[in-house]
């Protein structure tokens, strides 16, 4: 790779995506007819101090391809990106987003606003999804330092970006997670309540959707749980997550697999 110098009229500016596209560093979209690992449940819930995210860890093709995929990653200190859809594209998408935000920061000596990051991703999603069956649908959540709130942005297949003020779910298990969230969400959720609700919604999705991996007590593998707030992006420890899912599992055991009349 040579030194990427441009004259002023052809300069791609601080956008890594535009530079990488022009320089041929990205993969090209194209048709396919073989099964690729996909399917997911990702949940983002707003609480008074930020956003809680929960995501399953199973990659599914014709079989279970992997049980410990990370579908939620820190894009930078205050931003998380989660993916659903084709694993290969999703992982490239996360790398592109992470690098793009850092690239912008280095090129301009300024940090992109959270809204700026959300809008930046739109054309990247659109380009992928409208030119290839290898769909990727991400979810962006972060702490907005300039407005001091947690914010969630979801996307449609054509790259449309929509801010959600309550919660959002993506992936094949999202109808089940969404229903749980609709019943349990309040606008004054504190951190603990948001974590409990998020875990419960994922448990529901794992219970009903064959392509969502619920808690795996045999392998000691649990869904990812993260918080994004004024302290930045943080992952919950595996033991903490294990205890939360064990507690739900015990309650469900007592009531024959269903919630038994209360959201728990």
Q: Catalytic amino acids?
A: 40
Q: Which listed range, 3-11, 52-60, 140-148, 237-245, lies at the site for another protein (CB under 8 A)? A: 3-11
Nearer to another protein, 16 or 245 (CB): 16
**In angstroms, what is the minimal distance from the CB of 261 to another protein?**
48
For another protein, the binding residues in 96-135 under the rule CB under 8 A are 96, 99, 102-103, 106-107, 109
Instruction: Classify residue 132 by burial, with Cβ atoms within 10 Å: 0-12, 13-18, 19+.
Output: middle
Closest C-alpha among 120, 140, 161, 131 to residue 75: 140
d(CA 230, CA 228): 7
**In angstroms, what is the minimal distance from the CB of 75 to another protein?**
14
Under the criterion CB under 8 A, does residue 1 sit at the interface with another protein? yes
- The site map against another protein for 25-64 (x = CB under 8 A) is x---------------------------------------
Q: Which listed range, 1-9, 48-56, 79-87, 185-193, lies at the site for another protein (CB under 8 A)? A: 1-9
Closest C-alpha among 208, 180, 222 to residue 55: 222
d(CA 45, CA 166): 6
Under the criterion CB under 8 A, does residue 2 sit at the interface with another protein? yes
3-state secondary structure of 140: strand
Nearer to another protein, 98 or 179 (CB): 98
Show the DSSP H helices in the chain as ranges.
16-22, 87-108, 114-131, 174-184, 191-208, 238-254
For residue 105, the 8-state DSSP code is H
Residues that bind another protein in the complex, under the rule CB under 8 A: 1-6, 11, 16, 19-20, 23, 25, 95-96, 99, 102-103, 106-107, 109
């Amino acid at each position: 790779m040579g030194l990427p110098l441009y004259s002023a009229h052809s300069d791609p500016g601080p956008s890594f995506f535009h530079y990488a596209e022009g320089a041929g560093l990205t993969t090209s979209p194209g048709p396919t007819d073989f099964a690729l690992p996909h399917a997911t449940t990702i949940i983002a819930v707003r609480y008074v101090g930020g956003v809680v995210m929960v995501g399953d860890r199973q990659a599914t093709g014709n079989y279970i391809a992997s049980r410990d995929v990370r579908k939620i990653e820190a894009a930078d200190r205050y931003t998380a990106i989660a993916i659903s859809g084709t694993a290969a594209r999703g992982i490239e998408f996360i790398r592109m987003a992470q690098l793009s935000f850092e690239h912008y920061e280095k090129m301009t000596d300024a940090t992109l606003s959270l809204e700026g990051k959300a809008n930046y991703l739109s054309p990247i999603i659109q380009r992928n999804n409208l030119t290839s069956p290898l769909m990727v649908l991400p979810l962006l959540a972060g702490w907005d330092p300039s407005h001091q709130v947690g914010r969630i942005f979801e996307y449609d297949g054509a790259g449309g970006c929509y801010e959600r003020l309550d919660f959002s779910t993506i992936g094949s298990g999202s109808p089940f997670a969404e229903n749980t969230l609709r019943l349990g969400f309040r606008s004054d959720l504190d951190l603990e309540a948001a974590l409990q609700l998020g875990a419960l919604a994922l448990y529901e999705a794992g219970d009903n959707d064959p392509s969502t991996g619920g808690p795996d007590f045999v392998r000691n593998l649990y869904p990812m749980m993260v918080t994004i707030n004024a302290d930045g992006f943080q992952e919950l420890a595996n033991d903490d997550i294990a205890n939360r899912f064990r507690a739900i599992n015990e309650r469900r055991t007592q009531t024959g697999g269903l919630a038994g009349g209360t959201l728990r």
